[in-house]
Structure 1
């Protein structure tokens, strides 16, 4: 009889331990999913932040910065966000495309350029 009670208690204890591990795994998966969702939402916000504009609508300082820093390059596309920052896609003299970011006064924004390192190469 003692063995039967001991075996029952052992079985219940094992099930409780397995259930606790499953709960921990589910909680971890939920946390990982929330982190991934947050990262995707952040990337989409950055990508959707800019609205396309005509290249002729770029401020003169931005156009001058492109002309002086990228000899022979032409502006392919231009975008503007609510902060007054510009995303400029340029075609370089050697027929490569680069995406650069600038403020309204023609200053390059290095932080955003680092985010898009692949597009600059």
Structure 2
């Protein structure tokens, strides 16, 4: 009986030691993620370099919607064989990973 009580106390004591986490101290700096603002534009307003890159790299793609931000980065919402996708490109037609 003493062994059972001792084992129970030991088990409970070890669980509380595991769950007692050390406090997390912050240095007062917060990470802020800003959502980029894109303004919708017509397909005619997309630079020719971006159109050429789209035609060369995604020949079966249909441009559904185009938008641009202040940094002149273009967000292209396309459809490829019935599947929707979003691409980002610089005004020079270089693809951007986001």
Q: TM-score range by the shorter chain?
A: 0.5 to 0.7
In 1, Cα distance between equivalents of 2:62 and 2:68 = 17
Match of 2:69 in 1: 81
* Residue among 24, 48, 54 paired with 1:66: 54
List per-residue Cα deviations over 1:27-50 (Å, max 9, x = no partner).
Answer: x6xx6xx85xx5xx51xx32x421
Q: Of Structure 1 and Structure 2, which has the larger fraction of its residues in helix? A: 1
Partner of 2:95: helix, strand, or coil?
A: coil
Partner of 1:63: helix, strand, or coil?
A: helix
Q: Does residue 50 of structure 1 match 2:38? A: yes
Q: Of Structure 1 and Structure 2, which has the larger fraction of its residues in strand? A: 2
Match of 2:93 in 1: 106
In 2, Cα distance between equivalents of 1:49 and 1:97 = 21
Match of 1:95 in 2: 82
| Runs of at least 5 residues in structure 2 that lack an aligned partner in the other structure | 1-22
Superposition TM-score, scaled by structure 2 size: 0.65
Higher relative contact order (CA 8 A, sep 6+): 2
Give 1:56 shift. Answer: 1.6
Q: CA RMSD in A?
A: 2.3
Give 1:76 shift. Answer: 0.5
In 1, Cα distance between equivalents of 2:44 and 2:62 = 12
Give 1:105 shift. Answer: 0.6
